[in-house]
Amino acid sequence: MNLWKKIRKTGRVAEPAPPRPEGEPPEPRLAGSVQIRHVDAGSCNGCELEIASVFGPVHDAERYGARLVASPRHADALLVTGPVTRNMESALRRTYEAVPEPKVVIALGDCARNCGVFADAYGVAGAVGDVVPVDVEVPGCPPRPEDITKALRGLTGR
């Protein structure tokens, strides 16, 4: 009963939805529903915190039809964070191959786009774009949850 009172008192915590972003989704066959597999290719976990926030109650990206899934076979989009380290290079490539067509790749954060502060480090194989083709980039270190939500809405078109 205490939990019930808490639910009544808290009410809705989701922010009101901002206007839909401009532009056509890059893959119209995924309209309205995009399942996302998150791949940490060597991230510092800063981006992961923001992803957790995006799918939390406040930003609630699920209302736009985006959902995190447990298997690349179920996924339509790969959400890759961090510079691609040598150990994760083949893992990332094989994950990409496991995703059924049509598929898109999102490079999340400055590290994923151009290695960020880890550029030229000895353990880094390159940016995400050097390993798999990237369709959407989200800049920031880490990107703001609003920006991530906006990028996901660009994919679902909702």
What is the binding site for other proteins (CB under 8 A)?
Answer: 3-4, 7, 10-14, 17, 29-35, 57, 60, 62-65, 67-71, 73-74, 76, 98, 100-102
Cis peptide before 145 (omega within 30 of 0): no
Nearer CB in complex with other proteins: 33/119: 33
In the complex, what is the shortest distance from the CB of residue 106 to other proteins, in angstroms, rounded to a whole number? 17
In the complex, what is the shortest distance from the CB of residue 73 to other proteins, in angstroms, rounded to a whole number? 4
In the complex, what is the shortest distance from the CB of residue 53 to other proteins, in angstroms, rounded to a whole number? 13
Name the nearest CA neighbour of 112 among 21, 35, 39, 37: 39
The kind and range of the H/E element at 67 are strand 66-68
As to burial, measured by CB atoms within 10 angstroms (0-12 exposed, 13-18 middle, 19+ buried), residue 140 is middle
Nearer CB in complex with other proteins: 76/110: 76
* CA–CA separation, 36 and 33 (whole Å): 10
In the complex, what is the shortest distance from the CB of residue 131 to other proteins, in angstroms, rounded to a whole number? 21
DSSP state of 29: G
Nearer CB in complex with other proteins: 33/90: 33
Nearer CB in complex with other proteins: 78/124: 78
